[in-house]
Amino acid sequence: MSEALEQELNEKNRDLKDLVKREYKEGFVTDVESDTFEPGLNEDVVRRISAKKNEPEFMLEYRLKAFRRWQKMKEPDWAHIDYPKIDFQKIAYYSAPKEMPKLDSLDQVDPKILETYEKLGIPLYEQKLLANVAVDAVFDSVSVRTTFRETLSEAGVIFMPISEAVHEHPELIKKYLSSVVPVQDNYYTALNSAVFSDGSFVYIPPGVRCPMELSTYFRINEMNTGQFERTLIIADEGAYVSYLEGCTAPQRDENQLHAAVVELVAHKDAEIKYSTVQNWYPGDENGKGGIFNFVTKRGVCKGDNSKISWTQVETGSAITWKYPSVVLQGDNSVGEFYSVALTHNKQQADTGTKMIHMGKNTSSTIISKGISAGHGQNTYRGLVKILKGADNARNFSQCDSLLMGDRCGAHTFPYMEVQNPSANLEHEATTSKISEDQLFYLKQRGLSEEAAVSMIVNGFCKEVFRELPMEFAVEAQKLLDISLEGAVG
């Protein structure tokens, strides 16, 4: 980490110390007229979603096939999480702000929505944008704004809502949608495939280094609505892209479902860096409300020398069930997974990764940092699989857990399946507590207890934070501090 960043992080630290015990600041509701389906799911609802999007026939067929598969499937129950049964008929599967704007004119976006993003720190006016970050803003089921589209298209980069890509680039959608995560992969992927309404689509042509960070900001606003977004990113030969997603939701007493699917394809010599700062509403301190986050993310290193890197900072959601994975198909391909997952109060997270080595000389790195506070339950679940043909595969895994208090839990389930004797696997795991000695040491240097805890926790996460783009590293640290308010003392 650079000195400047370190200093900045440090300054942030001190500002936070002054924060009084705060509430989830993204918890507000935007009062906007919306077109929301009645709760419930059947074939007709699937057809209506497709019709809303004016989709070509192939998409409707895709959805219906997925829906029929889903009806025959069962919810997975193997994760170390405990939650009331979800009634899928009580969820509304489509909600969009009325007066849908044309995407090229900001004037037509409901000012209340613009204000919402402004409040969230995601301004959608280009003159106010974060330098060098293009944003796709998804509000409930639809994309309301994608910035910098022209600048990007000059470089040949396609960055648009997936609902538009279906119309404008059907050949790419047909070729790649569900090519990494099959529809029937699991219960939630089938559901998502049937009802997804928007998300981001990215295509980087051969040899192009995407000139800016791409980012999608997901916002759930409407009550009793599920968000089912779909993201598809393709980096063609020799291309590079760095993509970030952020997410928040209003504070409500009811649980809400978020079931997304993200697919990444890296061709020969291509690299995709995918970062997530997840801050869905976590529920209150008694575990009331909060988002159920059931997400499937997978990337395939299709070509030789390709690389996919996942970085995630998970501080929100009542339940997190998420395993961003990499299939290392090309020779010499590289997969990385850097994760910080924090559970406080009654939050539960079961998260980790799968690294599937198929090509020769493939390597993967897993760095997982779990922080548990309050009654939080934090589980790392990971699989490293070395297939027969994967000569000289290497993996390094490190799973560290930090416990705060004596009512929380940390669990580690590392699975390894090795079918090739030339594989080289290393696994390290530690569990630690913030020690009284560390706290006293820092307090003796003049730091308050909160500042001391924040410093120790951020030090613990440093290996992951340094993988994030700078602005987001600062954001992530801030989020962590806020999420830990009241965890000590």
433 binds another protein (CB under 8 A): no
Query: Is there a contact between 324 and 296 (Cβ–Cβ < 8 Å)?
Result: no
Query: Is there a contact between 411 and 382 (Cβ–Cβ < 8 Å)?
Result: no
Return the range that interacts with another protein (CB under 8 A); candidates 20-28, 140-148, 206-214, 441-449.
441-449
Q: How far is the CB of 453 from another protein (least distance, A)?
A: 12
Measured CA to CA, the distance from residue 294 to residue 311 in angstroms comes to: 17
Count Cβ atoms within 10 A of the Cβ of residue 481 and give its class: 0-12 exposed, 13-18 middle, 19 or more buried: buried
Q: What b/e string do you get for 414-449 counting C-beta neighbours within 10 Å, with b at 16 or more?
A: beeebeeeebebeeeeeeeebeeebbeebeeeebee
Contacting another protein (CB under 8 A), which of 58, 125, 415, 440? 440
Measured from the CB atom, the residue of 3 and 57 that comes closer to another protein is: 3
CA atoms lying within 13 Å on the CB side of residue 468: 27
Return the range that interacts with another protein (CB under 8 A); candidates 57-65, 251-259, 408-416, 455-463.
455-463
Radius of gyration for the chain, computed over Cα atoms and rounded to the nearest angstrom? 22
- 3-state DSSP call for residue 455? helix
> What's at 261, amino acid-wise?
V
Contacting another protein (CB under 8 A), which of 80, 169, 427, 462? 462
Measured from the CB atom, the residue of 14 and 90 that comes closer to another protein is: 14
Query: Is there a contact between 487 and 449 (Cβ–Cβ < 8 Å)?
Result: no
Measured CA to CA, the distance from residue 111 to residue 32 in angstroms comes to: 9
82 binds another protein (CB under 8 A): no
Measured from the CB atom, the residue of 209 and 462 that comes closer to another protein is: 462
Residues paired with residue 365 on neighbouring β-strands, in sequence order: 336, 396
Measured from the CB atom, the residue of 252 and 369 that comes closer to another protein is: 369
Measured from the CB atom, the residue of 38 and 436 that comes closer to another protein is: 436
438 binds another protein (CB under 8 A): yes
422 binds another protein (CB under 8 A): no
Please choose, from the candidates 157, 162, 158, 156, the residue with its C-alpha nearest in 3D space to the C-alpha of residue 178.
162
Measured from the CB atom, the residue of 350 and 450 that comes closer to another protein is: 450
What does the angle CA 448 – CA 452 – CA 453 come to, to the nearest 5 degrees? 120
Q: Print the binding letters for residues 85-124 with another protein: x by CB under 8 A, - otherwise.
A: ----------------------------------------
Query: Is there a contact between 151 and 211 (Cβ–Cβ < 8 Å)?
Result: yes
473 binds another protein (CB under 8 A): no
Measured CA to CA, the distance from residue 489 to residue 482 in angstroms comes to: 15
Measured from the CB atom, the residue of 13 and 296 that comes closer to another protein is: 13
Q: Print the binding letters for residues 289-328 with another protein: x by CB under 8 A, - otherwise.
A: ----------------------------------------
Count Cβ atoms within 10 A of the Cβ of residue 38 and give its class: 0-12 exposed, 13-18 middle, 19 or more buried: exposed
Q: How far is the CB of 365 from another protein (least distance, A)?
A: 17
6 binds another protein (CB under 8 A): yes
Residues that contact another protein, how many (by CB under 8 A): 32
Q: Interaction with another protein in 11-30: which residues (CB under 8 A)?
A: 11, 13-14
Q: How far is the CB of 107 from another protein (least distance, A)?
A: 42
CB atoms within 10 A of CB 246: 23
428 binds another protein (CB under 8 A): no
Instruction: Report the interface residues with another protein, using CB under 8 A.
Output: 3-4, 6-7, 9-11, 13-14, 435-438, 440-449, 451, 455-456, 458-463
